[in-house]
Amino acid sequence: MHEGYTNFETWSVSLALDNDRVFYNLSRAAAQQAKKDAKNAEQIKWGIWTSYQAELFLLTDTLKEFFEARVEDFDLPAPFADLLSGALSSVNWGEIAQELLEEKE
């Protein structure tokens, strides 16, 4: 564990989401959007998930996709892009999503 997080990679992303204004605003907006979108999730209608589980899944997926897409935005040599992708694959996105959803507004 690192600073209470699963690993260094998770802690590092969480730190960025809390300390960078753009990431802060985007992550909080994504959490609010996940709460809205979860209400229409088929898994809730079918009784598979609770509303919170839908919110968590949606936000986890959004955060992961956002960060993974940013790797492609940089023109990094292959070894560096691979290392960055590897580090992002170690992030516990669900842990970060849970933290954002449980944050007091």
Q: Kindly report the three-state secondary structure assignment for every residue of 16-81.
A: HHHHCHHHHHHHHHHHHHHHHHHCCCHHHHCCCCCHHHHHHHHHHHHHHHHHHHHHHHCCCCHHHH
Read off the pLDDT of residues 11-65 as tens digits, 9 standing for 90 and up: 999 999 999 999 999 999 999 999 999 999 999 999 999 999 999 999 999 999 9
105 falls in which pLDDT band (50, 70, 90)? Answer: low
CB 27 within 8 A of CB 63: yes
* pLDDT over threshold 90, residue 72: no
